[in-house]
Amino acid sequence: MKRIIGFLIFLPFSLFAQDLPIIPEPVHIVNNPGFATLSALTTLYYTDDTGKKSASFFRDYLKETYHLSLKIKSGHPATENEKAVIFQQQNNTNHPDGAYALTVKNDMIIIEGKQAGIFYGTNTLIQLLPVEQQASGKLNIPACYIYDYPRFAYRGMHLDVSRHFFDIAFIRRYIDYLAYHKFNYFHWHLTDDQGWRIEIKKYPNLTKTGAWRNGTIMGHYPGKGNDNKTHGGYYTQEQVKDIVKYAADRFITVIPEIEMPGHSSAAIAAYPWLSCFPDEPTKIPLSMISQKSMVEQQEGRIKLVQETWGVFNDVFCAGKDSTFRFLEDVLDEVMKLFPSKYIHVGGDECPKENWKRCPHCQERIKAEHLKDEHALQSYFIQRIEKFLNRKGRTLIGWDEILEGGLAQNAIVMSWRGEKGGIEAAQQNHFVIMTPGNPVYFDHAQSEQEDSLTIGGYNPLEKVYAYEPIPKELNKEQSKFVMGAQANVWTEYMDNPKKVEYMIFPRLSALSEILWSPGQNLQWTKFEKKLPTQFQRYGLWNATYSKAFYDLKSSVRPPTDDEKGVIWEVIADHQEDRIQFEAFPASDTGKIEPSPISGKPGQLAITHSGTYTANRFGAGENQLLSSITQNFILNKATGKRITLLSPLSEKYPGDGAFTLVNGIQNEKGLSKSKEFLGFAGTDCIAIIDLGQEERVGKVVVHFFEQENSWIWKPRQTRVLVSENGTSFNLAAEAGDQAAIPSDNGNGKMVIQLDRVNTRFIKIIIDNWGEIPAGKPGAGNKAWLFIDEIEVLD
């Protein structure tokens, strides 16, 4: 019996199902009465090799997850009454790439699609399976009809295996996670300063030396010493071939990344002649270097694999032809292992300091008539791109490859916000969106994050709200946005369980953003699917974050009839009850909290102190969760503030109000939501105190971490005004007034001759260009401002 099911193109809206917990949400769903039952009597049929891959994948999933073994056969069932799942090719060219139709009716299930479409339909079928183990050996699947296809052609996930190495077993598991969510690209970050992870036969030292480091800093950067433990590992070429095939069987393309010209310390440790200065020792601060590396350098070893995080000046020499011969040799071997059309070459965060003083690089600039070192980076990338193009491949690079002019056929990965992606698309270059805010999955996903993260705050809701096509692009330019991906940098992920914790459930949210049509994206519907999805993670034995169930808090300015600042606390279940507690900053007894009438979960903060919100279940006295926040109030707290300088997209906080919300950062970059970041620009703000006030001191709270290019203010000026338009200088202070602290949080106190004023203008000067000898030398510094206090 051969059955062909035509794809359904149009469905009346009234038939759309609302209750099947499928992630990502399909284009069209129709619920039907009844169900199909999978049991040992069910047979899996396939009609071609594509169907066979999907049938085998489904069979293996059932056996591993439910201990249910099914037979698999070529062809079709002999009768319509046979219990069967059919995986069959649909060659109709009128359907989008990746389209499929899934029909579940009685005990017959049919998945019909084009190429990868059959596989995507298989993973939808997996999501229809029960999430509880079935003792009966039977699995009931709800009767339905689904027609589906992806929104974006590029749906990617990245994994950094250089900062911490992960074995082949986990790489396979990671690829399975992508397959379950219908991702089709795996970006494998194989090389960086902290380790070279792929065997290159022509250059054995890359793995003999470059794959191993003598230690790693402990704790959050800059750390508390070195663990003095050897870290490392690499993948043989046979293992790489195995992973590429494993992914291809799941219709996932593996894109290798070989970093250049920066982030190359591991390669230089293996072959020092790749450096501009082979005889200059690798620089690792004494507070961060391992004892073994100290001894090795004392005994004459010059170059080391880096043991800390950040950006380093020792990069590939762009002036030596031997550097390019090396890279072409490496890429030749890489391309033999990876059939991907795309090869990622990094291109990000390349300091120019060594190039500026390198005679070879300066000679290259002169010979090629280049403007400067930024143009030299463009030359470097374009030279590699031409090599890849001759081999039939396309170069992908981070958005720094825009520096000095974009290579002709290159694809840009926009990570420093969306600006690079917008610029590339407007120049008719293809782009993949991967902005740190919100799709860097190494950032915290909970306000109360208790695990070590690099910083930032990308909660599940923010990921789900992301739109990969920037509003600045018109319809034609939007066509150059191939899709998006999330990046998983592993400085603070040293084991598979931590990686799982950081990606789930955000990976599920991203999958829906990249697959489902915009009109199907509904947060309220998605969050209702999460409890089932969490159970499914359990079936996979995957660790996941439960931050979704946390109390969510924010601070807003008061309305005209409110005082102080307003702390808003929201529970995921509206019927839950929130109760506040408050303790004053000084030892004067307990403050009586002031919840706002008619606004559950909102508290007016009118005194400095420590405030706690406790969540109780509806009608219960059992404490389910709590959240605590310190508030330090001053004359500027909650007042109207206007920001006159541009914010970085990466560190926008809650806008200008962040500077007067009464919260001072206590956790450095791990709570960077409380910072406003300025990339090479000053912070200029005007605060309206609402009425004339006596002012004797202004305190600017900042964050400083020079190794991350974040510098203290160079100078701060305070100006005052009676009318908000004409300002007079009241006081100023240089960088010597900055008071540092151990965790990077600092403050600058500006004393005024006591004045009466209503308007205060604060000009906080960025340090400017980072000086020679410092990490990031020659680049513009970051300025991070946390809070501005106005005091008597």
220 is catalytic: no
pLDDT value at position 128? Answer: 98
Residue 257 has pLDDT above 80, yes or no: yes
- Report yes or no on 505 lying in a domain: yes
Close Cβ partners of 726 (under 8 Å, ≥ 6 residues apart): none
CA pseudo-torsion sign 92, 93, 96, 98: positive
Name which of 518, 617, 642 is nearest 150 in CA terms. 518
Residue 239 has pLDDT above 90, yes or no: yes
Out of 547, 563, 583, pick the residue that ends a domain.
547
Q: CB burial class (10 A; 0-12, 13-18, 19+) of residue 246?
A: middle
Work out the pLDDT band at 656, boundaries 50, 70, 90.
very high
Residue 621 has pLDDT above 90, yes or no: no
Q: What is the mean pLDDT of the chain?
A: 92
Residue 174 has pLDDT above 80, yes or no: yes
- Report yes or no on 293 lying in a domain: no
Tokens of residue 424, six digits: 């590339």
Same-domain check for residues 619 and 667: no
Same-domain check for residues 129 and 212: no
CATH number of 673's domain:
2.60.120.260
pLDDT value at position 600? Answer: 76
Catalytic residue among 349, 373, 442, 512: 349
Residue range 161-174: average pLDDT? Answer: 99
- In this prediction, what percent of the chain has a pLDDT beyond 70? 95
Q: Cα–Cα–Cα angle for 649, 652, 654, nearest 5°?
A: 150
148 is catalytic: no
Q: In whole angstroms, how far apart are CA 268 and each of 169, 371, 600, 768? A: 29, 27, 59, 30
Residue 452 has pLDDT above 80, yes or no: yes
Same-domain check for residues 131 and 212: no
Residue 3 has pLDDT above 60, yes or no: no
- Report yes or no on 5 lying in a domain: no
Total tally of structural domains belonging to the chain? 4
- Report yes or no on 292 lying in a domain: no
pLDDT value at position 582? Answer: 84
Name which of 403, 405, 302 is nearest 351 in CA terms. 403
Element (H, E) at 625: strand 623-631
Q: CB burial class (10 A; 0-12, 13-18, 19+) of residue 721?
A: middle
pLDDT value at position 18? Answer: 47
Using CA atoms, how far apart are residues 259 and 312, in angstroms rounded to an integer?
13
What's the pLDDT tens digit per position in 485-525? 999 999 999 999 999 999 999 999 999 999 999 999 999 99
CATH number of 626's domain:
2.60.40
pLDDT value at position 575? Answer: 63
Same-domain check for residues 541 and 559: no
Same-domain check for residues 533 and 390: yes
Same-domain check for residues 140 and 167: no
Backbone dihedral angles phi then psi of residue 404, each to the nearest 5 degrees: 75, 5
CATH number of 94's domain:
3.30.379.10
Considering the entire predicted model, what is its pTM?
0.89
Q: How crowded is residue 547: how many other Cβ atoms within 10 Å of its Cβ?
A: 19
Q: Do 759 and 720 contact (CB within 8 A), yes or no?
A: yes
Out of 547, 571, 597, pick the residue that ends a domain.
547
Catalytic residue among 263, 429, 443, 701: 263
Same-domain check for residues 452 and 465: yes
pLDDT value at position 15? Answer: 38
263 is catalytic: yes
Lowest average pLDDT, out of 140-144, 158-162, 646-650, goes to 646-650
pLDDT value at position 577? Answer: 80
Residue 4 has pLDDT above 70, yes or no: no
Q: Which three-class secondary structure state does DSSP give residue 50?
A: helix
Same-domain check for residues 133 and 69: yes
Using CA atoms, how far apart are residues 572 and 551, in angstroms rounded to an integer?
7
In the block, residue with structure tokens 């699609």? 113
- Report yes or no on 649 lying in a domain: yes
Same-domain check for residues 381 and 359: yes
Name which of 397, 454, 378 is nearest 650 in CA terms. 454
- Report yes or no on 338 lying in a domain: yes
Domain extent at residue 676: 640-791
Catalytic residue among 107, 160, 176, 192: 192
Work out the pLDDT band at 189, boundaries 50, 70, 90.
very high
Same-domain check for residues 530 and 592: no
Name which of 700, 695, 708, 706 is nearest 676 in CA terms. 700
What's the pLDDT tens digit per position in 397-447? 999 999 878 878 899 999 999 999 999 999 999 999 999 999 999 999 988
- Report yes or no on 1 lying in a domain: no
Residue 19 has pLDDT above 90, yes or no: no
CATH number of 323's domain:
3.20.20.80
Q: Do 484 and 510 contact (CB within 8 A), yes or no?
A: yes
SS3 content of the chain, % helix, strand, coil (to 5): 25, 30, 45
Out of 598, 631, 664, pick the residue that ends a domain.
631
Using CA atoms, how far apart are residues 362 and 308, in angstroms rounded to an integer?
30
In the block, residue with structure tokens 């009241």? 730
- Report yes or no on 291 lying in a domain: no
Greatest Cα-to-Cα distance within the chain, rounded to the nearest angstrom: 95
Q: Do 267 and 329 contact (CB within 8 A), yes or no?
A: no
pLDDT value at position 96? Answer: 92
pLDDT value at position 570? Answer: 84
pLDDT value at position 12? Answer: 37
Q: Do 130 and 139 contact (CB within 8 A), yes or no?
A: yes
pLDDT value at position 500? Answer: 99
What's the pLDDT tens digit per position in 325-379? 999 999 999 999 999 999 999 999 999 999 999 999 999 999 999 999 999 999 9
Using CA atoms, how far apart are residues 283 and 352, in angstroms rounded to an integer?
16
Same-domain check for residues 305 and 375: yes
pLDDT value at position 579? Answer: 86
pLDDT value at position 741? Answer: 83
Same-domain check for residues 510 and 495: yes
